[in-house]
Structure 1
Amino acid sequence: MKRTVKNNVSWIGKIDWELDTFHGDDYSVNHGSSQNAYLIEEEKTVLIDTVWTPHSTEFLDNLKKEVDLAKIDYIIVNHGEVDHSGVLPQLMKEIPNTPIYCTANAVKSLVGQYHHPEWNFNVVKTGDSLDIGNGKQLVFVEMRMLHWPDSMATYMTGDNILFSNDAFGQHFACDELFNDKADQCLLWEEAIKYYANILSPFSPLVKKKITEVVGLNLPIDIIAPSHGVIWRENPLQIIEAYAKWSDDYQEDQITVIYDTMWDGTKKIAHRIAQELSEMAPTTKIKVYSISTTDKNDIMTEVFKSKAIAVGSPTVGQDILSSVGGWLHFLKELKMTGKKAAVFGCYGWSGEGNKVLREMLEKAGFPVTDVEIKCNWNPTEEVLAQAKAVAQSLL
């Protein structure tokens, strides 16, 4: 069922209430999501993006109820990832000669995934436009690495709509569709989680692209992303948020992250948090166990933080695999402007802190010289060292 976005522009996507993971199992989805596709019916009929393959039959059935497929003049593919392009193989069987407008990299992506080089690809770059009648045009803006090399946005003149694809989205199911109708707490919680876990590695590019888009002086009345709500009330607020998030973002927060074998490292983690709370009563202090808390939710809190403390016991002359995997993911996200401290217990050889320090430094976190390295279970004397660790993070 299509739903009006503005004038002759409709949403024709899928609200995916049951979705609980994304990118395989790499991203946790706590409040459902949506795959947003859009139908423009001016003198020309244009389909912007589709949905994920599991919903392809449902999507096509709904689309056929709304429009004669043979009357679709153009298909815009803003990004070739399967959650946006998954219906194309079925759709192109029905309308095989329909022009597809996308970037050169998107052609590589689509051919690589679906093996149909014969599709009618039309390559576009920033500034290219397509006339859709009634005095309106679609203007294309490449969005390389936001978050794939093939990504672009499409701007519709006249109605002043930016179809931004993965930029400015959230994994958030909202039946009301629009940001002014959504639960604001959940919306912004999911928006910053999405940025922290997906777009954070590309923050320098985000800054440049925002400057470029603003420099185009395009009036923007609506930002229509490919996941989550459509921004129609003060749509520039999400661009302003991205500008902040892309610039060494931090709040007055310190997060303690750990995993433990026999609770010794856990005791140190909680003591560090206690000392931080006493020293800085206005600072948010949060504590997470890596093995019992979703990694994406932890990363969101790390993204908000000005400093972190990371702990692991030594095991096999190394650290726990749960902590090692988490730190690998942290390195992937390329966060900047934050510092770290390390801590942990050991029984015999005690290499854990050294490994933590090296991995954090590779992830871009300057690590304080102060640490807690505890042989066996921490005594009160050892726990008292948490005061110095806490001080080093403030």
Structure 2
Amino acid sequence: MDELQPLEIAKGIYWVGVVDWNLRDFHGYETPKGGSYNAYLIIDEKIALIDTVKASFSDEMLRRIRQLVDPAKIDYVISNHVEMDHSGSLPAIMDIATNATLIASPKGKSGLCEHYKEMGCDDWNFRVVKTGDEIKLGKKTLMFIEATMLHWPDSMQTYLKEDRILFSNDAFGQHVATSKRFDDEVDDVMEDAAVYYANILLPFSAQVLKYIDKLNELGIGIEMIAPAHGIIWRKDPAGIIEAYGRWARGEVSEKVLVIYDTMWSSTEKLAMEIAEGVREAGVEVRIRHLRKNDWSMTMKEIMDSPVIAIGSPTMNNKMFYTVAGFLTYMTGLHPKNKKYFLFGSYGWGGGATKGMEKEMEAARYELAMESLQVKFRPFKEDLKACRDIGGRLAEIAKEMTRS
């Protein structure tokens, strides 16, 4: 596929975004598969561009648009979300499409004006829209849906009524770089979507459920979902909406997740014995070493785990730096309805488990049982205690899954 070619996703509707093959970090969210910034051009009696791309890719997007139309002829530019990976090329577009109307939510307009006040915002012709507002392009009609806190206050979505396409911006996306554009052309797309949800939308699960209720109230048919990141859902758009409902409700499987870091293997030995105790009790267990696994995938594992064990060695009377960093990352994403067990090891002075306990208390997380700490290295009685703890954690996971 020629990377400069636009792609027609439905009659008169084109993907004109960019693929970021080298993206490996998205504001702290690890993206080992790369990413994309999707923009869409609709050609009718009037021409509409839905979202733009990161500023550094504006020339690439404009080259795609120029293969279809003169960008100066664009009538409407729709900004579904202020964040710069979507709005970064707005100044470049608005400098060319000088007669275009820029459509945004009320908070979208204020956010764009604050961010781009020195880049021409005062000259942009804004139209502020709310849920249910429409514009006619000719044969095609665009309706706007406010999607507050999915995942910013300004977020909205655009629905193409005649083609039943939902341009969903940051909802239903994934961070993956691929020359393919549709869900029936790639593997593991639902897992990629789950990782994305766990690291972007998890803190806003209550708002996700309200949003799904709003979609049901509007009664719109959705035959395709075109997000601002990743692939387009044409095979099973209902499936990803249903998945969002499950993730937002905090549905879990019978599983215990063991997360740890280690210095001289003592904490690792504790982690492995706890995991073995879980396995012996007939419950699935997953193990994540914090320096050998990316945190983004670990958050995906947390999402459907009712019980999580976290272990740390003590360094300088505190928890290990990777554990401290991960707890900051995790508590910021606010996973709900979990129970935690804390464990660790120390040499001449403890501190790791106390530090973790303070973090959990501050985040109002529930501990499954009293923490365990071992001095120097675990002996036979310590390892047996860990295996017994694993069995108890497995029983807790079973009980939480049934409830």
TM-score category, normalised to shorter length: over 0.9
CA offsets 1:206-237 (integer angstroms, 9 cap, x no match): 01100111111001111111111111112111
Q: Measure how far apart 1:367 and its partner are.
A: 0.6
The partner residue of 1:32 within 34, 42, 50 is: 34
Q: Distance in 2 between matches of 1:362 and 1:42?
A: 54
CA offsets 1:175-221 (integer angstroms, 9 cap, x no match): 221111111x2x12211000001100000100110011111100111
Q: Distance in 1 between matches of 2:80 and 2:42?
A: 15
1:131 aligns with 2:136: yes
The partner residue of 1:155 within 150, 156, 159 is: 159
Gaps of 5+ in 2: 395-403
Q: What is the match of residue 335 of structure 1?
A: 335
Q: What is the match of residue 323 of structure 1?
A: 323
Q: How does 1:50-199 map to 2 (within 5 A)?
A: 50-115=52-117, 116-134=121-139, 136-183=140-187, 185=188, 187-199=189-201
- Whether the aligned pair in 1 keeps the contact of 2:73 and 2:97 (CA below 8 Å) is no
Q: Distance in 1 between matches of 2:364 and 2:201?
A: 16
The partner residue of 1:7 within 8, 11, 15 is: 11
Q: Distance in 1 between matches of 2:125 and 2:164?
A: 28
- Whether the aligned pair in 2 keeps the contact of 1:249 and 1:337 (CA below 8 Å) is no
Q: Measure how far apart 1:35 and its partner are.
A: 1.1
Paired AA for residue 167 in structure 1? A
Q: What is the match of residue 349 of structure 1?
A: 349
For the residue of structure 2 that corresponds to 1:370, the secondary structure is coil
User: More deviation in 47-56 or 285-294?
Assistant: 285-294
User: More deviation in 60-69 or 216-225?
Assistant: 60-69
User: More deviation in 243-252 or 196-205?
Assistant: 243-252
CA RMSD of aligned residues (A): 1.4
For the residue of structure 2 that corresponds to 1:308, the secondary structure is strand
For the residue of structure 1 that corresponds to 2:371, the secondary structure is strand
Q: What is the match of residue 376 of structure 1?
A: 376
**Which stretches of structure 1, 4 residues or more, deviate above 4 A after TM superposition?**
none
CA offsets 1:49-100 (integer angstroms, 9 cap, x no match): 1111111112112212211122211010001111111111111112233110
Q: Alignment identity in percent?
A: 41
For the residue of structure 1 that corresponds to 2:135, the secondary structure is strand
Q: Distance in 1 between matches of 2:163 and 2:103?
A: 20
Q: What is the match of residue 298 of structure 1?
A: 298
Q: Measure how far apart 1:36 and its partner are.
A: 0.9
Q: Distance in 2 between matches of 1:218 and 1:106?
A: 24
- Whether the aligned pair in 2 keeps the contact of 1:334 and 1:364 (CA below 8 Å) is no
Q: What is the match of residue 275 of structure 1?
A: 277
For the residue of structure 2 that corresponds to 1:336, the secondary structure is coil
- Whether the aligned pair in 1 keeps the contact of 2:29 and 2:296 (CA below 8 Å) is yes
- Whether the aligned pair in 2 keeps the contact of 1:200 and 1:333 (CA below 8 Å) is yes
CA offsets 1:316-353 (integer angstroms, 9 cap, x no match): 33211211110011111111111110111122332322
Q: Distance in 1 between matches of 2:138 and 2:314?
A: 67
CA offsets 1:121-158 (integer angstroms, 9 cap, x no match): 11111111111112x32111111110111110011111
Paired AA for residue 258 in structure 2? V
Q: Measure how far apart 1:364 and its partner are.
A: 4.6
Paired AA for residue 276 in structure 1? V
Q: Distance in 2 between matches of 1:309 and 1:337?
A: 14
Q: How does 1:171-320 map to 2 (within 5 A)?
A: 171-183=175-187, 185=188, 187-280=189-282, 283-320=283-320
Q: Distance in 1 between matches of 2:193 and 2:96?
A: 36
- Whether the aligned pair in 1 keeps the contact of 2:250 and 2:303 (CA below 8 Å) is no
Q: Distance in 2 between matches of 1:390 and 1:363?
A: 24
Paired AA for residue 306 in structure 1? P
User: More deviation in 345-354 or 78-87?
Assistant: 345-354
Number of residue pairs matched by the alignment: 387
Paired AA for residue 288 in structure 1? R
User: More deviation in 78-87 or 11-20?
Assistant: 11-20
CA offsets 1:239-279 (integer angstroms, 9 cap, x no match): 00000010013222211111122211111111111111111
- Whether the aligned pair in 2 keeps the contact of 1:370 and 1:388 (CA below 8 Å) is no
Q: What is the match of residue 399 of structure 2?
A: none
- Whether the aligned pair in 2 keeps the contact of 1:193 and 1:297 (CA below 8 Å) is yes
Paired AA for residue 95 in structure 1? A
Q: Measure how far apart 1:289 and its partner are.
A: 1.4
Q: Measure how far apart 1:108 and its partner are.
A: 2.3
Q: Distance in 1 between matches of 2:369 and 2:23?
A: 43
For the residue of structure 2 that corresponds to 1:117, the secondary structure is helix
- Whether the aligned pair in 2 keeps the contact of 1:372 and 1:382 (CA below 8 Å) is no
The TM-score, its normalising length taken from structure 1, stands at 0.95
Q: Measure how far apart 1:30 and its partner are.
A: 2.1
